[in-house]
Amino acid sequence: MAHTHEHGTRTEDRRALAVVLALTAGFTAVEVVGGLLTGSLALLADAGHMLSDNLSLGLALFAAWLAGKPATPERSFGYRRAEILAALANGVALVAISIWVFVEAFSRLREPTEVLGTPMLAVATLGLLVNVAGAFILSRSGGESLNVEGAMRHVIADALGSVGAMAAAGVIILTGWRYADPLISTAIGLLILASSWRLLRDSTNVLLEATPRGLNAEEVGRRMAAAEGVTEVHDLHIWTITSGFPALSAHVLVGHHENCHARRRDLEELLAHEFGISHTTLQVDHAGDHHASLQTLRFPSRSER
């Protein structure tokens, strides 16, 4: 049942990414045409921003498809990490986009360009509607994938760009002040840069096999060591295979008269119910048969402390 649910979630993710990619690609074409007809550099620049997002969405869609491929003896987890790599690439792309916005804004502050405010406002409003629809579709996909989150952050960044373009167009229409465009673009660039931080942090942590956010390895180790019959837990590792897929391995020592298989089943149930970790690899031995390395975390039972 878990496999069926996961497969259904990934299918929904791919469908959502495909629909949003079609929406944004279509609007990019509209924005290019609008920019050429009105002579608006702001719209053409935003079209370039949207084009980079289309490429990122395409990468996310490809990664979601790749992650759904079955495991092989050479790749026992399949291509699940492809989603994390795509999320990392999207985070880097967000940083690159924000730098481009800063450079472009500085250029326009030095030499403000003439922008036709009314057509700019119309196209920017349409862009906001498209991006809101895209964000809604991605949020309803039902998954907790970093890959989908990365795509959604691109869409949200586009929505912020549309809001900024609308605000700048409004100021230009009302006052004719052309500096509104680069100043608001700078603020949008800062927001885009901030939105990339969590994505880069989480994807990097997964690739470095850090303990998943929300889990405390020491707490997990102490709770395992406190279980009935357990005398010590060491060589404890907790990491993330891909979004929503935590894994754990550990070496557990139990009393001489304990049933190793029974204690392992008890620990597996404990980890699943208390910490949400269902993918575990536990080596269970009797105390005295094996010893922990001095370089690993050691969690003795309460009776030994």
Q: What is the CATH number of the domain that holds 253?
A: 3.30.300.30
190 and 283 housed in the same domain: no
Q: How far apart are CA 53 and CA 195, in angstroms?
A: 14
Query: In the listed set 179, 207, 235, which residue is the last one of a domain according to the structure?
Result: 207
pLDDT at residue 17, as a whole number: 82
**188, 207, 226: which is the final residue of a domain?**
207
In 111-248, which residue ranges form alpha helices assigned H by DSSP? 117-139, 146-175, 180-207, 217-225
Instruction: Identify the CA nearest to 61 among candidates 135, 11, 23.
Output: 11
Pick the closest to residue 120 from 172, 174, 187, 52 (CA basis). Answer: 172
- Based on the fold, state whether residues 189 and 249 are members of the same structural domain: no
Query: Which CATH number covers residue 188?
Result: 1.20.1510.10
Same domain, 169 and 251: no
Query: What average pLDDT score do residues 119-139 get?
Result: 88
Q: How many domains does the chain have?
A: 2
On whether residue 221 sits in a domain, the answer given is yes
257 shares a domain with 130: no
> Is the pTM above the cut of 0.85?
no
Q: Which domain holds residue 79?
A: 2-207
Per-residue pLDDT reduced to its tens digit, 179-236: 887 888 788 778 778 878 888 898 899 999 999 988 999 999 999 999 999 999 999 9
User: In the predicted model, what is the mean pLDDT of residues 266-282?
Assistant: 95
Shared-domain flag, residues 11 and 147: yes
CA dist 274 and 266 (Å) reads 12
Please report whether residue 272 resides in a domain: yes
